[in-house]
Amino acid sequence: MPFISNYETFSDQNPHPDSTIQKQKWFSDEFLCKFKGFWIWSPYLEPTKKVVEDFKPLPSDVILASFPKTGTTWLKALLYSIIFRSSKEKPLLFNHPHELIPSLETKLYLEESNGKNLEFTDHKVRILGTHIPYQIIGDILNSSDCKIVYVTRNPKDSLASLWHFVQKAKKFDEDPWTVETAVDQFCNGVVPFGPYYDHVLPYREESWKRPWKIFFVTFEELKEDGKKHVKRLAEFLGCPFEGENKEEQVEEIVKNCSFEILSNHEINKSSEMPECFPLPYNSFFRNGQVGDYNNYLKPEMIHQIDAITRQKFHASGFVYGI
């Protein structure tokens, strides 16, 4: 059975009609397809192409871009809480962040409506997620005055998080997806929306060139000083915190979006499956720690990833990820 049910999955038994598409096994019977230099998990290939063909951001849109497992769910909760903070309703208590803030290629263009349900919100500001790399979606995002928020996370925690996430997807008795394989694939860039390093660097570079357009933040920075970055985000989004109780407002948002609080809402603890995703709501919340990779990656794996991090990040002036 394919990992996802409502979009076609291509495999050796069911090849993609365009046989020129380069494919690589990811795990079990799941494949990644090469698209414009990046590896896209096969069910997301067509939706990604549709985003590229069809999506036109509005100037008021806020786009949350990220590589998978780097803090997307957390940022969705934070952005929603910052932007709609005056609302009396508290939808985060009853709605999963991924449903409150849908992603382009994994939801809005995944379903048959082909992006028509982009009119999903009554709010003046649409917040939309995407994992599509800057090299593919950059021109589209630059075609309007929309704002982009990019979150990243150190490569080893991102990889460990992805490995755990995938373990929930399948019974791996006959064809296990080992940490060794996951590390090798990651180091070779064969990972959904990867290579990871090629995903992170252009968003970072653009945020340096045009800080009014792209806000770049790391998972670790948010963990260290959530208040500081929530204030910065609000300023970037043009809705700075004001008034006598502004410190309390910021504290409240940081607290309500913390792993401890967010992961304890019934909806986020639920083992039910969301409508368009084959993993339960609770699979987006594991432990949200920094450095948890130490519990899963062997020293030689850490060396292998660190060597690439030095070569890709440090050599280009981004001293991060080790």
Q: Distances from the Cα of 131 to the Cαs of 73, 223, 259, 264, 279, in angstroms?
A: 12, 21, 21, 26, 18
Find where tokens 């357009």 sit: 213
Which residue in 102, 284, 313, 321 binds ligand PAP (CB under 6 A)?
A: 284
- Residue closer to ligand PAP (CB basis): 220 or 306: 220
Residue 276 contacts residue 165 (beta carbons within 8 Å): no
Q: Does 72 bind ligand PAP (CB under 6 A)?
A: yes
> For residue 85, what are the contacts with CB-CB under 8 A and spacing of at least 6?
239, 249, 253
Q: Does 102 bind ligand PAP (CB under 6 A)?
A: no
Q: Does 161 bind ligand PAP (CB under 6 A)?
A: yes
Please tell me which residue in 96, 131, 199, 229 is annotated as part of the active site.
Answer: 131
Strands 62-66 and 38-41, how do they pair? unpaired
What six digits make up the tokens of 117?
């349900």
Which residue in 35, 74, 109, 186 binds ligand PAP (CB under 6 A)?
A: 74
Nearest one of 70, 69, 185, 198 to 133, comparing CA atoms:
198
C-alpha 249/C-alpha 239 separation (Å) is: 13
Which residue in 101, 140, 254, 257 binds ligand PAP (CB under 6 A)?
A: 257
Nearest one of 111, 98, 109, 153 to 132, comparing CA atoms:
109
> For residue 188, what are the contacts with CB-CB under 8 A and spacing of at least 6?
none
Amino acid at 258: S
The residue range among 40-48, 67-75, 138-146, 193-201 that interacts with ligand PAP, by the rule CB under 6 A, is: 67-75
The residue range among 109-117, 184-192, 248-256, 282-290 that interacts with ligand PAP, by the rule CB under 6 A, is: 282-290
Residue of closest CB approach to ligand PAP: 288
Q: Does 226 bind ligand PAP (CB under 6 A)?
A: no
Residue 219 contacts residue 90 (beta carbons within 8 Å): no
Which residue in 43, 47, 57, 68 binds ligand PAP (CB under 6 A)?
A: 68
- Residue closer to ligand PAP (CB basis): 31 or 284: 284
- Determine whether 131 is an active site residue: yes
What six digits make up the tokens of 161?
């998080």
Q: Does 220 bind ligand PAP (CB under 6 A)?
A: no
Nearest one of 262, 115, 146, 151 to 270, comparing CA atoms:
262
Residue 76 contacts residue 84 (beta carbons within 8 Å): no
Q: How far is the CB of 199 from ligand PAP (least distance, A)?
A: 12
Q: Does 154 bind ligand PAP (CB under 6 A)?
A: no
The residue range among 12-20, 82-90, 234-242, 284-292 that interacts with ligand PAP, by the rule CB under 6 A, is: 284-292
C-alpha 28/C-alpha 9 separation (Å) is: 12
Q: How far is the CB of 169 from ligand PAP (least distance, A)?
A: 12
Q: Does 259 bind ligand PAP (CB under 6 A)?
A: yes
Q: How far is the CB of 297 from ligand PAP (least distance, A)?
A: 13
Which residue in 28, 70, 81, 154 binds ligand PAP (CB under 6 A)?
A: 70
- Residue closer to ligand PAP (CB basis): 68 or 133: 68
Sign of the C-alpha dihedral computed for residues 109, 110, 116 and 121 taken in this order: negative
Question: Which parts of 285-314 interact with ligand PAP (CB under 6 A)?
Answer: 285-288, 292
- Residue closer to ligand PAP (CB basis): 136 or 311: 136
> For residue 296, what are the contacts with CB-CB under 8 A and spacing of at least 6?
160, 163, 179
**Size of site (CB under 6 A) for ligand PAP:** 21
Residues that bind ligand PAP (CB under 6 A): 66, 68-74, 157, 161, 164, 257-259, 262, 284-288, 292
Catalytic positions, please? 131
